[in-house]
Structure 1
């Protein structure tokens, strides 16, 4: 695939305009951001309290990183692998299980991996780790009550980018996995062409140049097999995230649906996954249902 390294979305914007487009923490305000981060942890703790599962399983010997398995029981269940956000340098699996009880009640298990945060490791290494997590689910999941043939992936913000990196082709061979190991995907407020981040504050801990950013951009990578996807984004999201979600939906073609969630911002849109009646929960459950054999 031929890519012009300098032809990226928003290249005509000033550094200040790019910061407005991608600095969603500033857009939300520090008080609202802190409130929502507290809510992430509280809702996650409440969701997994008393839930059957196996927390703290090492999935990657190289890094020693762990994942939590929630909501198992009986026959192996379809599984939603959720990748947390935090611009690749914050949050953890402990803040990111708020959907686990809702899914358990619907017959679906949840897997929430940690990954080593930047700048301790490169973004390339973070991508390798989340791919290793999916490989673990496929190889070891059945022993933990997971159906390896019904893996759906999703994530928010940086986790949306990592979701995209699981949707593309090529990496599966490295891990000895089938090309269709990911059966469906639901990125929230994702970043699919990360070249603009080379010019914003996020690059303080990513340390990317344009060439590496292009190689880590799902929209620019081969994907002959297009798994079913719902590309979700908040109506009150950052303009950069809104535009990237619209562009990636067009790029993914007929296999994808764009969902712009009204009255939600970059941080609270994904919390709707705790409510089975919400539009995003219904969309996710619809994707999972399509994986049935």
Structure 2
């Protein structure tokens, strides 16, 4: 994560809008989208109309067995991004027999990362309570994220206290798909401050090292952490490569067998843009991982 990571991620929405405009009609027919659902009540003191919305993309074909569910968390350096840029992911997943939930969450500087993690937790809780109405299986909820969203997805899978705070005795997340995740170990990253402009990340993460560790999924892993599918680009940022390797090593030390794939030649932003294509390697690994057994046509 260098300064140009921020510039690249800010450019990502423009690229995504073009992809969505080009392909929305082509992939819309096998799926149905229910947009702008509030997952936090408007009466809640934390409620933010735009920040607390999600979209559900469900296969149109009805089946006797409910579909697995993937909750997608967008990236954007913890200060940008919007679910609407990622409709292509929702459509592609629904076309392949997955109910996709693509969420917004509040961003810096309005809130810090612990509040973002709390928002994502509440989106998963909403999903567990309501996804059956869209054909999804509340017992098969997986989280997925790219970049900053990957770090948040990893945290939701690893930190059960996020859900206990809201009265759940069991974490409903059954696995995590991490696509070039950022922020797996912000404790080490912010202590080192190796690169120019790293102080920009103090805006979303604050100045307390204890909080940096609290929201770094690496330090929340246990022997009970659900399965993890981890993919990184061969040409991604060094901090993402190194933290992902340490994340995989820590999982292995705890007795897990995470699948870790490095995609040769891929840089950071193409790691999410490739999800536009239905048969790319991420979907090839994701579908069996979540137990998608049939298409949603």
* Contact 1:68–1:113 (8 Å) recurs in 2: yes
- For structure 2, list consecutive stretches of 5 or more residues without a partner in the other structure: none
CA shift digits 1:70-98 (9 cap, x unpaired): 13432442111110000110011011222
Kindly tell me: are residues 212 and 204 of structure 1, through their superposed partners in 2, closer, same or farther at Cα, counting changes over 3 Å? closer
Equivalent position to 2:185, from 178, 186, 193: 193
**Deviation (angstroms), 1:272:** 2.0
Q: Secondary structure at the match of 2:88?
A: coil
Checking the alignment, whether the CA contact within 8 Å between 1:236 and 1:266 is kept in structure 2 is: yes
Specify the alignment match of 2:287 in structure 1: 285
2:145 is aligned to 155
Change (3 A) 1:274 1:210: same
- Which range is displaced more, 117-126 or 55-64? 55-64
**Distance across 1 between alignment mates of 2:274 and 2:132:** 28
Of 166, 184, 203 in structure 1, the residue corresponding to residue 201 of structure 2 is: 203
Q: CA deviation at 1:212?
A: 1.1
Contact 1:81/1:152 (<8 A) preserved: yes
Matched position secondary structure for 1:189: strand
2:69 counterpart residue number: 79
Over the residues paired in the alignment, what is the CA RMSD in angstroms?
2.4
Q: Say which SS state the counterpart of residue 242 (structure 1) adopts.
A: helix
Q: Deviations over 1:87-144 (max 9, x none)?
A: 1100110112222222222111111110011010121111100000000000111123
State which drifts further: 227-236 or 45-54: 45-54
How far apart are 1:259 and its partner, in Å?
1.0
CA distance in 1, matches of 2:69, 2:20: 17
Which is worse superposed, 51-60 or 173-182?
173-182
CA distance in 2, matches of 1:260, 1:266: 12
Q: Is the 8 A contact 1:184 1:227 kept in 2?
A: yes
Structure 2 matches for 1:6-85, cutoff 5 A? Answer: 22-23=1-2, 26=4, 36-45=12-21, 46-47=23-24, 49=28, 51-61=31-41, 62=44, 63-64=47-48, 65-73=52-60, 74-75=62-63, 76-85=66-75
In structure 2, C-alpha distance between the alignment counterparts of 1:247 and 1:109, rounded to whole Å? 31
TM-score (norm 1): 0.83
The count of corresponding residues between Structure 1 and Structure 2 is 268
- Give 2:170's aligned residue: 179
Taking the aligned partners of 2:186 and 2:141, their CA distance within structure 1 comes to: 26
Q: What is the alpha-carbon distance in structure 2 between the residues aligned to residue 173 and residue 204 of structure 1?
A: 27
1:238 is displaced (CA, Å) by 0.5
Deviation at 1:49, TM superposition (A): 4.5
Classify the secondary structure of the residue corresponding to 1:231: strand
The gaps in structure 1 that reach 5 residues or longer are 1-21
Deviation at 1:201, TM superposition (A): 3.2
Partner of 2:264: 262
Contact 1:72 1:146 in 2 (8 A): no
C-alpha separation in 2, matches of 1:33 and 1:224: 33
State the partner residue of 2:220: 221
Who is 1:105 aligned against?
Answer: 95
User: Mean alpha-carbon deviation: is it higher for 249-258 or for 44-53?
Assistant: 44-53
Partner of 1:132: 122
Q: 1:203 and 1:114 mapped to 2: Cα distance?
A: 20
Higher mean C-alpha deviation, range 50-59 or range 111-120 = 50-59
Kindly indicate whether the alpha-carbon contact (under 8 Å) linking 2:99 and 2:134 is maintained by their aligned counterparts in 1: no
Within 2, Cα distance between the matches of 1:270 and 1:212? 28
TM-score (norm 2): 0.82
